Structure 1
Amino acid sequence: MSSSSMAFQSGATSSSSSPSIHPWNHDVFLSFRGEDVRRNFISHLYQALLQRGINTYIDNNLERGEEISLALFKTIEGSMISIIVFSKNYAESRWCLDELLKILDCKETMKQIVLPIFYDVDPSDVRHQKGIFGKSFDKLGDKLKDNAKMLKWKVALQRVADLSGFPLAKFRDESTFIQEIIQWVDIRIVNQTPFSVACHPVGIESRIRDIYDQHLNIEMNDIIRVVGIFGTGGIGKTTISNYIYNRISSQFEGSCFLKDVRETSKRKGGLLELQNRLLSKILGTKSNIDDEDRGINVIRHRLSSKRVLLILDDVDELVQIEKLAGDRDWFGSGSRILITTRDQHLLEVFEVDSKYKVKILDENEALRLFSLHAFKKDEPLEGYVELSKQVTKYAQGLPLALKVLGSDLKGQSIDEWKNALDKYRKIPNDDIQKVLLVSYEGLHATEKQIFLDIAFFFKGEPLANVMKIFDCCGFSPVHGIKRLIDKCLITIEEHYNKCVKMHELLQVMGREIVRLKSPEEPSKRSRLWFHEDIREVLEESTGPNKIEGIVLDLPKGEEEMISLHPEAFQHMKRLGIFINRNACFSCAPNYLSEKLRVLDWSRYPGESLPHNFQGKKLIFFSMHASLIKELGDGFKPKNLTTMTLYDCNFLEKIPDLSSISNLKKLSVMCCTRLVEVHDSVGSLENLSLLNFYGCSKLQILPRSLNLRSLLQLCFDGCSSLRYLPKIECKMECLRKLSLNGTAIEELPLSIANLVGLEVLSLSNCKNLLRLPNIVCNLLQHLEFFSIAGCSNLVNKMGNDGPSHLAIESTKMKEEISLCEEPLHELAPPTNSSNWSTTLQESNLQISCSHSESKFFPISSLFTMFNSSVSLKSLDLSKIGIVSLPTSIKEFVALIQLHLHYCEKLEEIIELPPNIRHVNVEGCKSLERFSEVSKILEFNRSHIRSLQRIYLSGCDKMHVNIWNDKVQNPLLWKGVYEYDATLFPENQIPEWLSYVHEFLKDNDDGRRRGAKEEWVIDIEGPHYLEEISGIVLYGVIFFTAKFFVHGGIDRAKITSNSSNYACYIPEGVHLINTNSDRPMENKPAYTIWVGYSNLQSFGVKVLDNLRVQFDLRHHSDGMVPFYKSCRAKVVYKNERRANKKRKLEEETTKLCMESETHAHERLNQSSECVE
């Protein structure tokens, strides 16, 4: 590890509130020859230093009788700056020269600053020991006659003379000379004084460590690195940079922290001021640059050979970087430049070497930081816990907000807290608002509009929908959204729908920006969100207004109906967005603005839209739980892309939509009176989604489908639908056709036109009688095909008789299942080889509760798949088989095998070679499972990939394990560092010798909370090279009420002699036997057994080992019963380990006996003396 890294680490382990710099006792130490300068120059210099407030030490302050040399050395070590005054007789003093050696040593080891003063001597004479100075040095040599010592002093004089110093000869008088020295010292002290940092640095250390380890690379002295630190305002960028500067600045030849670059550069001559400050700080001299371009050249010329640390704080424009650190060659090798900003894009343009986004505080960190400011404690006071959590939820991990709100609420009553919280949600705190507003003010006009629309209407909405709306508004959303992301004003959730996210405080800020435009008159604002303001506008209708958008979401308890004023919407000529989440209106509007782009109205109170509303600019139209019966003849939204009608139980018909040629998504769900869909819907060329889920009365569909862009077609739950329209063209884009639960009797032959189909789902189509032969060809391309629950389906597969089957698959997962009907032989189709090779990560599920065959009866099915290299999941659940056929081992790709609730299954002889998970839950007849026997004997050489077996409810499962022959049980040959096992309580091994019991026999026991310790101490020493591992064991009982709420999250093993720890996390259990169906009067139990090989300790000898179980229970406080825990250290050679233990015991016994005899003899001697 490099010295720089070591220095940082030492700081990291110290108190976070104190930077890792040397705690200097004095600012200046004066080294001089008293007889030359004490009564004149030194006395004047000393007084000048004191007058300037500089804490200065001279040797005449030493107390009489103190051993002066040692005390003086400590004083030198405790001084920030050493001033060495070389005079004519300085080199004649052995004392002075020893001081010089110590000072130079502190310069190297402690980064002490050294200033040589040449008082009436020439620096060259000091360097080469010539002239008067040389004569005094020779005089000491003749007297001392110690050549080795003289050589050390000579080298020291050469080194110190090479430093930049102050010769008196260059100054016109001594007074000016002293003033220059004072000014030089003053600058150094200021530069060495650390920045004030947060009084409660919660979460700072981990973020500093991330930056140091992953981005700075301090130990690499041959490169120059530029690192960007970015994040939203108030997240802690400057605080983190302060800590970094205090920690590592001493490792550079020069350092400078330029704060408030954004604010300073806005002032006249601001960049010049910053350039001068940079040069003065690093060079230690005043800089008077009067031109920015000249300043660039001066910085490059003066600093190109210096290893510097430069921090540019709060940068918001590229020109600021270009004028202060425009290129890497401005600085010497090993330099580090840190730039903090709210604008990620700026870092990308400047091409920094790496970027670090500052993370918000997690829940625990946030609560602790808030509590420290609100209560001066690490956690909230009693009675304030829930309110504190509400505050931290509101602040969402933003340190600035937590500090401000904590200080604001400090000392207030609970009622005052509640009132303040209500206020914060409407009107943000001024101190927080000022910081956050900076990012908004840096946006262009259209970017501000995008930000405000997201803050009001589109937070949490899918990015694609938001982009469409902004695009139609002419906002250039691609650029605008990117700018908001770069400015850390929004983020995009990385899920499949990529929703737009915004910090709640930024959302509150956006709302406040709009409110302040007209604090007293809501109708004069551009956007409304507060329900009382909206109610005022809709019920009173104060005349023409400026409202462009409304989002109405009534809080619980305030759902009183809105008495809509007849002219309310007529005065909203500019209304572009109207979203009603939950409010009920007294009547329907008689007018809607033609500027509407988004109309999302839950509980719409009318039977139709206003007769004169065409929706010319409408892009998104949605109605939920509304009374609407028809859309209206005048409704012609030619730009509409998305129409959603959900739970509109009075809607009976989808009208002619031929004029809406841009429609891409039509979703009509749970409209239980819908009967007919107009023919025009079958010809919408841009339609990508057509969904009629849950429309149980739907009967009449378009006569044909000609939807070339369609991706998904869903009729799930349309229980009255008896046919599928003819498919007129090759619909190459269609990937999913779902007809689950329909009354359809057969599929049209034109289904062959669905050439790109991946999912065909016909589950629970009870009336389905036949499938066209083309389905067999489709199976070659399908990734999911289901006819599960189709009880009337009869189809000839090959030459076999009728079969009742369902074949399902998803991409990378294919499922074949048989419905719960009498099972017949299933022969492969004629192209079975092609079929099997096209399956993608298959999941084969066969479910047939009435089969009575002893061996699995459809051997042809195994024949079909056993050569497949893709079948990965096999589900044979609820089958009446007695034994799994050995041919299962031919399924070489299989990783999951599900056999749960095969209640007649008695034995499992073989498993596939690459199996990972086996589930035999509820197989109450299972007695023999060969692989379990091998595992519990710790012989894993057969199937190394096996990770987990579920044995819950396998009451007859008995395995002869832990017997006398298995005294070396944990020679695991698996690939995992840790594994865990669960097995029945009656198989508890007796050799698990370290026990902690919580429940005794016939004892009701007690519940253990998650915060209580569940600990076992195992005495040492333990020699790691002889240990195979450690076995951990725990018993947990569950009542019917508590069984799903508890367990063991992980086990932690620590050694008293080291800081190392290893963990066995929850979820790596190899065998699970918890009974998850407890009877009312019979508790369930889980036996948890874990294993660790302890290799992560990285040491050879372990003293006392401690095992701690982390217990888990449900957040509602329900806790299971924890009975006992046990542990055992297992050795590679148990016999040798036993011998060693016995030897140690005998040695200990002999030592104790020897001590006893010694005490007895001592007592006897004492008695004799008496």
Structure 2
Amino acid sequence: MHWTRSESKFIQEITQAVTRIVNRTYLNVAKHPIGVESRVHAINMLLSVGMNDIRMIGVFGVGGIGKTTITKAIYNLNAYQFEDSCFLANVRETSKREFGLVQLQEKLLYDILGESSLKVDNVDRGINIIKERLCSKRILLVLDDVDQLAQLEALSGESGWVGLGSRIIITTRDKHLLTKHQVGLTYKVKEMDHNEALQLFSWHAFKKDKPIDGFVQLSEHALRCARGLPLALVVLGSDIYGRSLHEWKSALDKCKRLPNKNIHKILRISYDDLDDNEKDIFLDIACFFKGKDADYVIKILDSCGFFPDIGIRVLTDKSLIAIEENNRLVMHDLIQEMGREIVRQESPKEPGRRSRLWFHGDVRYVLEENEGTNKIEGILVELPKRDLIHLSSKAFTKMKRLLLFINRNACFSGGPNYLSNELRLLDWPEYPLQALPSNFHGKKLSVFRISHSLFKELKEVFENFQNMKIMELSDFLDFSGTDIVSLPASIKRFIGLERLILQDCKQLQEIVELPPNIKEVDASGCMSLENFPEASKKFQFNACNLKALEWIDLGGCHKMLVNIGNHVADPLLGKGQFKDLLGGIIFPGNRIPDWFSHHKETANTNSCEVDINGLRYMDEVVGIALCAIIGPNLLIGQEKPLHLIGVKINDNEVQERWVDLMGSDHVWLEYVIFESFKPKEDNMQVKFYSYLHEPVFFKSCGVHLVHKHEENVKDHDPALLHENVDVHLDVPNEEIENSELDSVDGIQLSKRRRQDDDGGIRESILHPQHKRGPLTSGVQIADL
């Protein structure tokens, strides 16, 4: 029988494929591969092995999350579909050895080519051989635990190094490393869910898929310690397998204070790869700032000279921290424990010789026994419950390098006679003295909070605080004997100050001077406040010096009602200065300014919508003025809750504010400039809302579009302003059919009848106030 060349080649390919399958050696994945299948499926979707392109896929996540286990399973599942395959494990560790990269190159070439005699003299020679010998082969290559770009450049520099249809999988803790190597497809391995974690833990703790009787609650405790990290679940389960109930409790209590050394060792690898600046940032977040607003933390760390913008990005890329949608810094509990253990190991027996203190027992010991040293850079006072600390007056004397002091819930029997002039953050509610130590000039202070404190005189406090960015004096004027009625003029020298919180300063009567770069002023609850000239100027186009001011909270400031409420600016009078109004204000009141072109009264609802249809000349629109009258939900309790309110335009979130309505109606006014965002549709939907769990009630709302040349709008053709503007509540058709229509100045008003809850009939009329209307052809206002 004679075979053609193509037939012979076909038979050879079949023989090679069968040989690969028969001779294939599977990698050991895991004894209990819980949760692996779903993650393998997700990555396989990225691989798309049937496609004939070349793909690099990056798998990243924190140490111990299961990256290697998952990629082993992927390798076992797919290797037979490739001409040749190679799994290079422990790239990071191997590369640290002398000639480590060369050894990895030789293993790669041997696994793909099968030539044991092939030797590589150096990395550069290895790169050339890999490019020459693998460029036509369809291979599967896994590079496991990569941490340096040089490793990738030596083993898989470019997609052209391998043949069509090849797949290269890279596992790493550093997402940015994948970016630098231009890996376009990535998969982040996330923590196990509760069911997966319970199964994995149970297999190692009980040798079955669920806890045995009597150990269910302790198992839940263990899951809380592990927080979905597979490594921790395996280690904890194995360590307490076969132990008594009492030993279980002891082991889990120990985990709260002392991390397991095997878990700590794995997690610390990512920390050890950081530079000194990044290590400082990581330890500060682990010890003090987990769960805090990222912008706030960046301000503090920047004042410490830590370059936090790039530092936090590096920590995020290495999966040591994350920033949630609400801008909060989050960190896995075990990673936090790892960081705190690093600090504890600085001086295991003497807490006063550590760089950071956070554990309440250590903090109390150091402050009461005067055991502080110049090693301490930060202290967090957070007791299990509110309690008294008998502070030694000399407790801070030796802490010459103290940068951060945060008191969350302690009372102090006395105050310090010394504070470090290196302090950047002083957060001490109920500060026990009427003045700061005489030695303290505060020239490096960035954040200063002394709420509920005994200060009587502010002039000396402000004298030297040049670098202030956040100042909170919340409630500090509530105490008997205080007679402060205004802020000292020296506050205007704080050019770095962005937020000033004067909440519930009940004797404060005026705010005359403010720093030039202030962004937010919270004077809510200042019941005696009468004079705040810059607030009036800001919203009336007068000569306001506070160009950066974005938010003023005058909640509960009823004496400001006349000064602000009756004199809100008409932006049409601004003659191009509308851009200077960016921001918002809230103050007591119950009336929307007359100049709003569209005004609607509503029932007490937690949201309302304004639909503006048939818009014309949107290129002429520079922004929008928004106003709502809101009242509190009085059914949610006697305490003063904070309410989250917001507004959207065409489903784009424009602004959200936290407000305290102090039990009465308030006016909320916002000016929005269309710069980065501008509606492109002919229709615009404006929605005011509050969140359902603690809603406010919207009683009326107003919308006004502002045009570039609207000061001359009176000269426009009236037909361009309104064409049969129809304003009505969004109600069922049968209700509209039964409604009566009235006409005022040619504008149709919908009068409708509605049955109240008590069975009575209520009649309401909605009317736009169109003294200066937007260029619209119709307005429909819907009640949600």
**How far apart, CA to CA, are the structure 2 residues paired with 1:265 and 1:729?**
62
Deviations 1:219-271 (Å, cap 9, x if unpaired)? 102x1111111111001110000000000000001000000000001101111
The question of whether the paired residues in 1 share the 8 Å contact of 2:550 and 2:584 is answered with yes
Where 1:455 maps in the other structure, the secondary structure is: helix
Where 1:274 maps in the other structure, the secondary structure is: helix
**Cα separation, partners in 2 of 1:288 and 1:204, compared to 1, 3 Å:** same
**Cα separation, partners in 2 of 1:782 and 1:290, compared to 1, 3 Å:** closer
435, 445, 450: which is aligned to 1:608?
435
Where 2:169 maps in the other structure, the secondary structure is: strand
The question of whether the paired residues in 2 share the 8 Å contact of 1:619 and 1:640 is answered with yes
The question of whether the paired residues in 2 share the 8 Å contact of 1:387 and 1:418 is answered with yes
509, 530, 543: which is aligned to 1:676?
509
The question of whether the paired residues in 1 share the 8 Å contact of 2:205 and 2:237 is answered with yes
Matched, 1:729 2:544: yes
Alignment of 1:805-954 (within 5 A): 810-812=647-649, 841=686, 885=739, 901=757, 903-904=759-760
Where 2:513 maps in the other structure, the secondary structure is: helix
**Cα separation, partners in 2 of 1:776 and 1:164, compared to 1, 3 Å:** closer
The question of whether the paired residues in 1 share the 8 Å contact of 2:518 and 2:548 is answered with no
The question of whether the paired residues in 1 share the 8 Å contact of 2:132 and 2:161 is answered with yes
Give the AA of the match of 2:544: C
Alignment of 1:93-108 (within 5 A): none
Identity of aligned residues (%): 43
**How far apart, CA to CA, are the structure 2 residues paired with 1:579 and 1:232?**
29
**How far apart, CA to CA, are the structure 2 residues paired with 1:647 and 1:499?**
26
**How far apart, CA to CA, are the structure 1 residues paired with 2:148 and 2:522?**
49
**Cα separation, partners in 2 of 1:839 and 1:623, compared to 1, 3 Å:** farther
State the partner residue of 2:154: 323
Matched, 1:518 2:347: yes
Matched, 1:542 2:371: yes
Give the AA of the match of 1:638: Q
State the partner residue of 1:290: 121
**How far apart, CA to CA, are the structure 2 residues paired with 1:369 and 1:873?**
56
State the partner residue of 2:132: 301
The question of whether the paired residues in 2 share the 8 Å contact of 1:738 and 1:762 is answered with yes
**How far apart, CA to CA, are the structure 2 residues paired with 1:576 and 1:906?**
63
**Cα separation, partners in 2 of 1:278 and 1:545, compared to 1, 3 Å:** same
Deviations 1:546-578 (Å, cap 9, x if unpaired)? 10001121114xx54211112111111110000
State the partner residue of 1:506: 335
**Cα separation, partners in 2 of 1:190 and 1:315, compared to 1, 3 Å:** farther
The question of whether the paired residues in 1 share the 8 Å contact of 2:649 and 2:685 is answered with yes
In terms of mean alpha carbon deviation, does 661-670 or 429-438 score higher? 661-670
**How far apart, CA to CA, are the structure 2 residues paired with 1:782 and 1:335?**
54
CA shift at 1:839, angstroms?
8.1
State the partner residue of 2:642: none
Where 2:423 maps in the other structure, the secondary structure is: coil
State the partner residue of 1:1004: none
Matched, 1:785 2:627: yes
The question of whether the paired residues in 2 share the 8 Å contact of 1:195 and 1:242 is answered with yes
**Cα separation, partners in 2 of 1:627 and 1:396, compared to 1, 3 Å:** farther
CA shift at 1:437, angstroms?
0.7
State the partner residue of 1:645: 473
CA shift at 1:524, angstroms?
1.4
Where 1:599 maps in the other structure, the secondary structure is: strand
**Cα separation, partners in 2 of 1:202 and 1:865, compared to 1, 3 Å:** farther
Q: Which has the higher contact order (CA 8 A, sep 6+)?
A: 2
- Could you say what the CA RMSD is over the residues aligned between the two structures, in angstroms? 4.3
**How far apart, CA to CA, are the structure 2 residues paired with 1:282 and 1:900?**
80
483, 492, 496: which is aligned to 1:658?
492
Q: Which runs of 5+ in 2 are unaligned?
A: 572-577, 601-620, 633-644, 655-681, 690-696, 701-720, 765-777
Matched, 1:564 2:365: no
Alignment of 1:563-642 (within 5 A): 563-631=390-458, 633-635=460-462, 636-642=464-470
CA shift at 1:380, angstroms?
2.6
Give the AA of the match of 2:210: E
**Cα separation, partners in 2 of 1:887 and 1:264, compared to 1, 3 Å:** farther
CA shift at 1:676, angstroms?
3.2
Give the AA of the match of 1:885: S
462, 466, 475: which is aligned to 2:297?
466
**How far apart, CA to CA, are the structure 2 residues paired with 1:782 and 1:916?**
16
Deviations 1:1059-1094 (Å, cap 9, x if unpaired)? xxxxxxxxxxxxxxxxxxxxxxxxxxxxxxxxxxxx
The question of whether the paired residues in 1 share the 8 Å contact of 2:387 and 2:409 is answered with no
Where 1:584 maps in the other structure, the secondary structure is: strand
State the partner residue of 1:277: 107
**Cα separation, partners in 2 of 1:236 and 1:842, compared to 1, 3 Å:** closer
Q: How many aligned residue pairs are there? A: 653
State the partner residue of 1:746: 562
**How far apart, CA to CA, are the structure 2 residues paired with 1:280 and 1:514?**
45
**How far apart, CA to CA, are the structure 2 residues paired with 1:156 and 1:518?**
75
**Cα separation, partners in 2 of 1:236 and 1:535, compared to 1, 3 Å:** same
State the partner residue of 2:232: 401
Give the AA of the match of 1:660: F
**How far apart, CA to CA, are the structure 2 residues paired with 1:899 and 1:280?**
84
State the partner residue of 2:34: 202
Deviations 1:186-222 (Å, cap 9, x if unpaired)? x989972111111222221111111111x1111102x
**Cα separation, partners in 2 of 1:155 and 1:772, compared to 1, 3 Å:** closer
Deviations 1:145-196 (Å, cap 9, x if unpaired)? xxxxx6799998886689999xxxxxxxxxxxxxxxxxxx9x9899721111
**How far apart, CA to CA, are the structure 1 residues paired with 2:483 and 2:541?**
23
**How far apart, CA to CA, are the structure 2 residues paired with 1:353 and 1:726?**
50
**Cα separation, partners in 2 of 1:692 and 1:575, compared to 1, 3 Å:** same
Give the AA of the match of 2:99: G
CA shift at 1:645, angstroms?
2.6
**How far apart, CA to CA, are the structure 2 residues paired with 1:398 and 1:916?**
51
CA shift at 1:309, angstroms?
0.3
**Cα separation, partners in 2 of 1:624 and 1:397, compared to 1, 3 Å:** farther
In terms of mean alpha carbon deviation, does 540-549 or 236-245 score higher? 540-549
Alignment of 1:955-1034 (within 5 A): none
CA shift at 1:290, angstroms?
2.5
Matched, 1:252 2:89: no
State the partner residue of 2:770: none
**Cα separation, partners in 2 of 1:510 and 1:298, compared to 1, 3 Å:** same
276, 286, 296: which is aligned to 1:445?
276
**Cα separation, partners in 2 of 1:899 and 1:486, compared to 1, 3 Å:** farther
**Cα separation, partners in 2 of 1:157 and 1:544, compared to 1, 3 Å:** closer
Alignment of 1:40-59 (within 5 A): none
The question of whether the paired residues in 2 share the 8 Å contact of 1:225 and 1:337 is answered with yes
Deviations 1:87-132 (Å, cap 9, x if unpaired)? xxxxxxxxxxxxxxxxxxxxxxxxxxxxxxxxxxxxxxxxxxxxxx
The question of whether the paired residues in 2 share the 8 Å contact of 1:783 and 1:809 is answered with no
**How far apart, CA to CA, are the structure 2 residues paired with 1:349 and 1:244?**
24
The question of whether the paired residues in 1 share the 8 Å contact of 2:56 and 2:167 is answered with yes
**Cα separation, partners in 2 of 1:774 and 1:841, compared to 1, 3 Å:** closer
State the partner residue of 1:694: 525
CA shift at 1:359, angstroms?
1.3
**How far apart, CA to CA, are the structure 2 residues paired with 1:758 and 1:155?**
75
State the partner residue of 2:360: 531
Where 1:602 maps in the other structure, the secondary structure is: coil
The question of whether the paired residues in 2 share the 8 Å contact of 1:544 and 1:571 is answered with yes
**How far apart, CA to CA, are the structure 2 residues paired with 1:638 and 1:362?**
49
The question of whether the paired residues in 1 share the 8 Å contact of 2:631 and 2:699 is answered with no
The question of whether the paired residues in 2 share the 8 Å contact of 1:195 and 1:246 is answered with yes
Q: Which runs of 5+ in 1 are unaligned?
A: 1-149, 166-184, 714-724, 791-807, 815-836, 849-863, 920-1170
**How far apart, CA to CA, are the structure 2 residues paired with 1:641 and 1:625?**
20
Structure with higher Rg: it is 1
**How far apart, CA to CA, are the structure 2 residues paired with 1:352 and 1:784?**
45
**How far apart, CA to CA, are the structure 2 residues paired with 1:311 and 1:430?**
29
CA shift at 1:601, angstroms?
1.5
CA shift at 1:904, angstroms?
2.9
